[in-house]
Structure 1
Amino acid sequence: MTGTVAFVTGASSGIGAATGRELARRGAAVALVARRKDRLEQLAAEIQGEGGRALVVGTDITDQRQAIDAVERTVAELGRLDTVVNNAGVMLLGPIVDAPTAEWDRMVALNLQGLLYVAHAALPHLLTAADSGPRNVADLVNISSVAGRRATPNSGVYNLTKFGVNAFTESLRQEVTERRVRVSVVEPGAVVTELADHLREEIRETAMRVFADVEKLQADDIADAIAYIVTRPRRVAVNEMLIRPTEQVR
Structure 2
Amino acid sequence: MSNIQNKVVIITGASSGIGEATAKELASKGAKLVLAARREERLKKLQEVIQNSGGQAIFKVTDVASHGQMEELAEYALKEFGKIDVMVNNAGVMPLSPVHQKKINEWDTMIDVNIKGVLYGIAAVIPSMRERKEGHIINVSSIAGHLVFPASAVYSGTKFAVRSITEGLRIEEASNNIRTTIISPGTITTELLEAISDPELKSAIVEDCKSNGIEPASIARAIGFAIEQPSDVAINEMIVRPTIQEL
Scaled by the length of structure 1, the TM-score of the pair is 0.94
Q: Does the 8 Å contact 1:192/1:217 carry over to 2?
A: yes
Q: Which residue of 1 aligns with 2:202?
A: 204
Q: What is the letter of the counterpart of residue 232 of structure 2? A: R
Q: Does the 8 Å contact 1:24/1:52 carry over to 2?
A: yes
Taking the TM superposition and a 5 Å limit, the aligned residue runs for 1:29-68 are 29-68=32-71
Structure 1 position 7 matched with structure 2 position 10 = yes
Residue 210 of structure 1: how far off its partner (Å): 4.5
Q: What is the letter of the counterpart of residue 200 of structure 2? A: E
Q: Which residue of 1 aligns with 2:165?
A: 168
SS at match of 2:151: coil
Residue 212 of structure 1: how far off its partner (Å): 5.9
Residue 211 of structure 1: how far off its partner (Å): 4.6
Q: Which residue of 2 aligns with 1:98?
A: 101
Residues paired across the two proteins, number: 243
Residue 17 of structure 1: how far off its partner (Å): 0.6
Taking the TM superposition and a 5 Å limit, the aligned residue runs for 1:10-159 are 10-129=13-132, 131=133, 137-159=134-156
Q: What is the letter of the counterpart of residue 123 of structure 1? A: I
Q: What is the letter of the counterpart of residue 124 of structure 2? A: A
Per-residue deviation, residues 82-138 of structure 1 (Å, max 9, x unmatched): 001000000011110023210001100000001100111111122234x4xxxxx42
Per-residue deviation, residues 16-43 of structure 1 (Å, max 9, x unmatched): 0111111111111100000001100100
SS at match of 2:99: coil
RMSD in angstroms over aligned alpha carbons?
1.3
Alignment partners' CA distance in 1, 2:151 and 2:234: 34
Alignment partners' CA distance in 1, 2:32 and 2:206: 36
Q: Does the 8 Å contact 2:136/2:178 carry over to 1?
A: yes
Q: What is the letter of the counterpart of residue 80 of structure 2? A: E
Alignment partners' CA distance in 1, 2:27 and 2:174: 25
Q: Which runs of 4+ in 1 moved over 3 A?
A: 208-213
Q: What is the letter of the counterpart of residue 236 of structure 1? A: V
Identity value in percent: 38
Q: What is the letter of the counterpart of residue 42 of structure 2? A: R
Q: Quick check: which one's helix share is greater?
A: 2
Q: Does the 8 Å contact 2:50/2:57 carry over to 1?
A: yes
Q: Which runs of 5+ in 1 are unaligned?
A: 132-136
